[in-house]
Amino acid sequence: MQEQDFAKLVQVNGANVYFEHHEHPTASETFVLLHGFLSSTFSFRRLTPLLKENYNVISIDLPPFGNSGKNNRFTYSYENLANTVIALLDHLNVNNVHLTGHSMGGQIALNVMKKAPSLVEKGVLLCSSGYLKRMNWPITLLSHIPFFHLYVKLWLTRSGVRNNLENVVHDTGLIDDEMMFGYLKPFLEDDIFKALTRMIRDREGDLSVNDLKNIHTPCLLVWGEHDRVVPLSTGHRLKQDIPNSKLVVLKETGHLVPEEKPTEVLNHIHAFVRATAEEVSDDTQTESLFQNGLSQTLISET
């Protein structure tokens, strides 16, 4: 049996959703990857090839990002994006996944765990957003003004791709032309700015502390110690509020951990998926397990 890779665009939950699927010839475990705000499957380009060596991998472009639909009539709330992920996995007849979310994708992953806990075996939250409130009402009100999407476009243009990348990585030497174009490409079409305007209106606040305390899925939290977008303090709060969770901090790393430290992330993931729920909830046992797992799964990054 040979490995199979394919990419596809399907309609689920009223949206055209693009995903990339790697079917491993023998693996029984599946990782589902959810990217962050203003990003796409491209942000996992260094982590996905490593995961593919041992697991099935499904990487999703969340609407309206990447190659997915940018319909400004779609509801871009985190709850509905979670519904879209659930619908896609149901369409693919995939369950018992290891759901992995970076930044905004982490918050959507948490919504999936809340809504469909039996679907997710374990969660991996990479610098996940958390505790953010709903957008201020004046901005929400302004988003209804015709041509507001042009202001959104102007704001993103002025901030610039390189400036945004410099904000999310600790080592700016990682930024090259391939990286800049990969993150710029989804914004070369105007439709996304109309969809982002709709997202400003639709995005509700992040899950409450009570919601988080009722998520019992074992979760691995991976943070960069120099994250300037979602500070490490958010990781510590999530560790306290998500019952069966473990926090790992990567040294000399910023917000974009899948790009900056893919091998270290992979090694922690390997150890995590082998841990039992009891070991994940016990800090002492888990720390020992992670160190043993890391020593056994060192992989040279290409």
Catalytic residue flag (residue 170): no
Catalytic residue flag (residue 270): no
Q: Which of 217, 181, 180, 201 is nearest to 106 (CA)?
A: 217
Distances 16 to 42, 67, 102, 143 between C-alpha atoms, Å: 18, 9, 21, 24
Element holding 123 (H helix, E strand): strand 120-126
28: CB partners within 8 A, 6+ apart: none
Catalytic residue among 59, 68, 103, 128: 103
- The answer to whether residues 25 and 52 touch, using CB atoms and an 8 Å cutoff, is no
- The answer to whether residues 13 and 87 touch, using CB atoms and an 8 Å cutoff, is yes
Q: Which residue has the tokens 């901090």?
A: 249
- The answer to whether residues 284 and 259 touch, using CB atoms and an 8 Å cutoff, is no
Catalytic residue among 102, 149, 255, 270: 255
Catalytically active residues are 103, 255
